[in-house]
Chains A and B, each alone.
Chain A
Amino acid sequence: MADSGYFDLRSAVLLLLLAALAVIPLFGDIFYTRLFTRIMIYAMAALSLDLILGFGGMVSLGHAAFLGVGAYTVGILSLWGVQSAFLSWPLAMLFSMLIALVIGAISLRVSGVSFIMITLAFAQMLYYCFISLKGYGGSDGMTLAGRSSLAGLLDISRHGTFYYLVLCILLLILFAANRLVHSRFGMAIQGIRDNERRMLSLGFPTFRYKLVCFVFAAGIAGLAGALMANQSLYVGPALMHWKQSAEILVMVILGGMRSLAGPILGALGLLLAEEILSNYTEHWMIILGPFLIIVVLCGRKGIYGMLKGANDHD
């Protein structure tokens, strides 16, 4: 993947976007602050999926499961009286990563369609598992008493404060992911996506690398889940349904795989489209469906990919 330098159209768009995000709470009313908080959280989830999909070449239809685990960790801990973000958020990430370790260790033994199916199956397993947890809301889910506390450092029950915290976290993740992708690990993962047979013959134990990538991505998704629980003050099994996984997948594709900004654009695009379209008709799905089909059929570069131009070899 050629390093195309720092200032090109893509970077410009990304910077513009981030600048815009930075000032939103200052202009619009609370509604927009909350909307964009939600968008940023989904962007985080989409970014984490892109790590394994766009960079790792692993098509997972069960990624939302990790979102759900993260969210439920916060929710359940909250029910038990643990409100500290310093405790529940890292734990959310930890549990997501542990579950990903188990799921990944089994799923990554197969590839292709079987991998897609088995990740789907595991996500469904978790979905049904959480539905049956009557103590934690069952299929209705449960509401949280309040947002996590940051030991007095920040009061994130205020929407504006929470917004900026989420933005900072998103930027941190973006930065870390960027380093990851260009590091030795990132090169290895992309090599595995490009030609796993070759990687094995060069001496890489590819299974290990894929698993680590899978677990990392789950950790980020877990954090996104924790933030989501805080954002809506609600956790429910629908969060880990395979349709949620598919929606995040759509965000990644729409925005452009194999880039870190793409998923952010995708989340923005999809959720804004939903928001705008649903003002016109409650049947906005019927427009979105065919639109998505057209986007996929016309080439999968996504918005970001199209900005990159023709000299990129996908």
Chain B
Amino acid sequence: MDPMLLLVQGLNGMQLGVMLFLMAAGLTLVFGVMNLLNLAHGSMYMMGAYLAASLQQHTGSFLLALLLALPATFLIGMIIEAVAMRRLYDRDHLDQVLVTFALILFFNELVRIIWGPQAHFMALPDGLTGYVTLFPGVIYPAYRLIIIGAGLLVALLLYLLIMKTRLGMLIRAGASHREMVGALGVNIKLLYTVLFGIGSALAGLAGMMAGPILSIESGMGDSVLILALVVIVIGGLGSIRGALLASIMVGVADTFGRILLPPALASMVIYFLMAAILYRRPQGLFSANG
């Protein structure tokens, strides 16, 4: 195989991986700390994309759209948490699956009502439509490089947040000793709300960044959700490190699967991967650590 092609595909794999990480990080964080399996996470991805597209249309600026849509998804996440999620923490996973599934149905319909059933598109910001020359003869879309960079930046920020800040400490403590943290006077309710908001914002960010590359339509979050679930199960429920490693693995495996294998098998690669890993290590690659 041509090494240049390998590089380009590798970068594509990284780009997919990084987007998956943005989704998976929020999902695994919420599961690790609140023991909540949130299927509606994909809906936040979708909302992020729709909001950004809408704002871009109104303001004409991609950057402005992002800057406004991000806090908007954060807010929506917190509202959902307060209204529905908070009642699910003490329920078993089946209840959580059902309620969050119902939310998916709700949001898929909501975007159809607000924005209509047709697919929407986001324009690439002007400065980023070009290509970057990595090596002589190898060019790569600038926008995708930005995505990779942004994703890695977020990973770094998350790491700093969780390891070095007081909030991060609370997150880690909350994961292992909910009642204790509550007894110490920390407002657990607020912590959870904020955490859920952060998770939603991350998903929304993934959606916003995916906007210019994919078509924006009702239900776009569902397939990404499945991928994100596969990622967190492989990485270990509750582990951000695991989510990062697993998302890169899945992103690369999926990308290379598609160019090396016939389409039927290509789609199944990541599921085989997941089944194989779960068979040997049911708890995933890493255990929950925050």
Stretch binding the partner chain, chosen from A11-19, A93-101, A112-120, A225-233: A112-120
The number of chain A residues with a CB under 8 A from chain B is 39
Q: Kindly list chain A residues whose C-beta atoms are within 8 Å of the C-beta of B93.
A: 59, 112-113, 116
Q: Are A128 and B105 in contact (CB under 8 A)?
A: no
Q: Report if B264 contacts A (CB, 8 A).
A: yes
List residues of B (236-288) whose CB comes within 8 Å of A's CBs: 237, 262-264, 267-268, 271-272, 274-275, 278-279, 282-283
Q: Report if B183 contacts A (CB, 8 A).
A: no
| Bound complex: CA A117 to CA B282 (Å) | 11
Q: Are A296 and B222 in contact (CB under 8 A)?
A: no
Q: Report if A110 contacts B (CB, 8 A).
A: yes
List residues of B (89-114) whose CB comes within 8 Å of A's CBs: 93-95, 97-99, 101-103, 105-106, 108-110, 112-113
Q: Are A128 and B274 in contact (CB under 8 A)?
A: no
| Bound complex: CA A286 to CA B101 (Å) | 12
List residues of B (55-92) whose CB comes within 8 Å of A's CBs: 84, 87-88
| Closest B residue by C-beta to A61 | B97
Main secondary structure of the interface of A (DSSP, over half): helix
Q: Report if B233 contacts A (CB, 8 A).
A: yes
| Bound complex: CA A117 to CA B112 (Å) | 28
Kindly provide the distance from the CB of B101 to the nearest chain A CB, expressed in whole angstroms.
5
Interface size grouping (class) on chain B = 35 or more
Most A Cβ at <10 Å: residue of B101, B110, B279:
B101
Q: Report if B226 contacts A (CB, 8 A).
A: yes
What is the count of residue pairs linking A and B with beta-carbon distances less than 8 angstroms?
113
| Bound complex: CA A292 to CA B106 (Å) | 10
Q: Are B278 and A110 in contact (CB under 8 A)?
A: yes
Q: Report if B52 contacts A (CB, 8 A).
A: no
Q: Are A117 and B230 in contact (CB under 8 A)?
A: yes
Q: Are B274 and A121 in contact (CB under 8 A)?
A: yes
Q: Report if B229 contacts A (CB, 8 A).
A: yes
Kindly provide the distance from the CB of A117 to the nearest chain B CB, expressed in whole angstroms.
5
Kindly provide the distance from the CB of B274 to the nearest chain A CB, expressed in whole angstroms.
5
Q: Are B229 and A120 in contact (CB under 8 A)?
A: yes
Q: Kindly list chain A residues whose C-beta atoms are within 8 Å of the C-beta of B230.
A: 117, 121
Which residue from B94, B106, B262, B263 sits with its C-beta under 8 Å from A285? B106
| Closest B residue by C-beta to A290 | B106
| Bound complex: CA A118 to CA B105 (Å) | 22
| Bound complex: CA A242 to CA B104 (Å) | 13
Q: Are B101 and A128 in contact (CB under 8 A)?
A: no
Q: Kindly list chain B residues whose C-beta atoms are within 8 Å of the C-beta of A286.
A: 106, 109-110, 113
Q: Are A250 and B268 in contact (CB under 8 A)?
A: no
Top 5 A-B pairs, shortest CB-CB distance: A289-B106, A132-B264, A128-B267, A285-B109, A292-B102
Measuring CB to CB, which residues of chain A are less than 8 angstroms from any residue of chain B?
A: 53, 59, 61, 106, 109-110, 112-114, 116-118, 120-122, 124-125, 128-129, 131-133, 242-243, 246, 249-250, 253, 283, 285-286, 288-290, 292-293, 296-297, 300
Q: What are 11 of the A-B contact pairs (CB < 8 Å)?
A: A106-B275, A113-B233, A129-B264, A132-B262, A132-B263, A246-B97, A246-B98, A250-B102, A286-B110, A288-B105, A290-B102
